[in-house]
Chains A and B, each alone.
Chain A
Amino acid sequence: MLENRRHRLLAWTFGTILVGLLVLGSVAYATQSRTGLGVTGLSREMPWGLYISQFTFLVGIGASAVTVLLPYYVHHQKVFARALILGEIVAVIALTLALLCITVDLGQPSRLINILLYPAPSSLMFWDCLTLGGYLTLSVVGLAATLFARGAAPAKWMRGLALATIPWAIGIHVVTALLYAGLAARPAWMTAILAPRFLATAFASGPALLILLAGVLARAKVFDIGREAVERLSIIMTYAAAASVVLAALEAFTATYSGIPAVSEHLEYLFLGLDGHFGLVAWTYASWLFVLLALVVLLVPRLRQRQGLTYAATAAVLLSVLIDKGLCLVPSGFVPSPLGHVRDYRPSLIELAIVAGIYSGGALVFGAACRWLLISDVPSQSTIHALNPPPPTAREPGMATAAQMEN
């Protein structure tokens, strides 16, 4: 538990960098507030960019708490007891960051309250705010209750709360997808497959992030979600990533085989470039390469047994979704523009600094949460074993486990 001097030094260095980025992001946001969104790489033809992309990605991470809630509360998978705490912390932080991303994107953030003062139920953005707010509240209550339970079996009402949270979690991401999918002006998004794709990428990227964070926490001897939980999260991630690839391929088929220019041009822009603009081509291939290589590693038993390789594959899944949802999806929807204009989008340094600041804030809060909530809450080893009973029989050595890393 950070008693190790090297760990302490690492934590302080990392913390200092994060605080630095947070300050940098705040300065960048002050500049943007003073001079307007003209300091971003956005334009007439490209009204949404990195902020809205990152919002979409983070809502997915927030929604992916389902991947621990559902097994634990509905299927009584007790091995998820500790992953649940981690999952809930990550969900609450991710949603808060998502809301920050929306706020920094607004031209007049001080008027945000107008969404509540003049509610417009015909707008999906109204429903998005409602579902996000509701889900965030449920998650905070759930997290607080889990922490107060201190490793004991959750209270009865907790199960009711968790069961209520599950459809909300799916709801936030579906509503976020519908926000895009209902626009006749943007054929790239106007597809019924967008919502399932969002869910698939969310249930791949969320567990991937949890596995990586759990690995770091276990190595730092802060918190251990247990080997079995990691293995099962890895399985969920693998199949969700595979499903997302299938859904994307199906979308690519209807878009290209039908040959309707309005539907296929954005894919042309992503994969081949359009009218001499190649802004997202390299990113698109990177995203596909990452997820396909990761799937090979995660599905071939001989490769899956290698601990370092599986961690790399997990990181690749996360990166792939981060690029696809967090960078490519939103800008490519605006190409070509309704009047046939093609304008590349490159986030400005100000935009990058603001997003880095938001993530740094999230990382600092996560660090503090681990330090104060998890460490003070770590049950004795016997409790851990009670929560995560060792497997009765030898099982296939798969994902790296915390126990292995501690050796």
Chain B
Amino acid sequence: MKLGLSRRELLASTGAALGAVIVTGTASRTTLGAEGKTGPRWGIAVDIARCGNQSGCRACIDACHAAHRVPQIEDARHQVKWVWKEAFARVFPEQTHGWETDAHQQAPVLVLCNHCAKSPCTKVCPTGATWRRSDGVVAMDEHRCIGCRYCMAACPYEARSFNWVDPHPSPNPGNYPARTAGVVEKCNLCVERIDNGQIPLCVETCTGTGAGALTFGNLEDASSPLRRLLATRQVLRRRPALGTEPRIFYLV
């Protein structure tokens, strides 16, 4: 069988095509909006025991969901969640061994977007509808989102929710922008408050109840209460092996 194309020709053209793809790919990666080199880097520490002791407490969840007009949906398949509680064994499967008590395994742990320093969701978004701000907050523009849900597939924390149904069937009060069905949303670490010099609502609410389980702070500031906690307490992060560098820390 005679080849119509010499092997050299074929290799050369394939190589050239591959090279072009790689060059354009790497060139564009360097121009991607990165975090600022200086300035604050926000994070939250969750004291698992203090939060868990407040059995049935939903103060931070309700405050957040009301302020951000998070749709309340009955059907578990379609729920939208910014901050919620999951069983310890689900949140930290690598930290369970099966010999602990059921109560320990089922202990509720507060979960929310981890605002990862290496966020997979922002990497895969095809429209830049979600991005990492210079202060490390993973932000979301529900009005640019095309609803492809690639970010949901990429998030290793199930922190993203899709509006499967109309989120605002009846007008509900609040200043937070309304969104439509067909877009993804998630915790925004209260950027609207941070930019006004306030701390996130969940942290403020938790402090208000006296539980004091949440600590917000600047990771770049060595004297911040957050940094002191991280330096002195035993700390867990969710699925650290994936290299996403979560900025939500769990104090054991």
Contact = CB atoms under 8 A, between A and B. Distances in A.
A109 B181 CA distance: 12
Contacts, number: 167
A37 B149 CA distance: 12
Query: Secondary structure of the A side of the interface?
Result: loop
B40 interface: no
Interface stretch (B122-130, B198-206, B226-234): B122-130
A242 interface: no
A40 B162 CA distance: 13
B153 A48 contact: yes
Given A76-B4, A118-B144, A126-B126, 9 more contacts: A36-B182, A48-B153, A74-B5, A74-B10, A107-B163, A108-B145, A108-B180, A122-B29, A341-B158
Nearest to B157: A338
Interface stretch (A141-149, A182-190, A316-324, A361-369): A182-190
A107 B124 contact: no
A338 B113 CA distance: 13
A39 to B, nearest CB: 9
Q: Which 7 A-B pairs have the closest CB atoms?
A: A107-B147, A107-B182, A36-B181, A43-B77, A121-B28, A185-B156, A38-B164
Contact of B146 (A114, A127, A186): A114
Contact of A339 (B91, B144, B163): B91
A43 B78 contact: yes
Interface residues of A, number: 53
Interface string B165-205: 11000000000000011111000000000000000000000
Contact of B153 (A40, A47, A106, A107): A47
A28 B29 CA distance: 40
A199 to B, nearest CB: 15
B14 to A, nearest CB: 6
A390 interface: no
Given A36-B166, A111-B146, A112-B146, A167 B17 contact: yes
B57 interface: no
Interface in A149-198: 159, 163, 167, 179, 182-186
Contact of B5 (A115, A163, A179, A183): A163
A24 interface: no
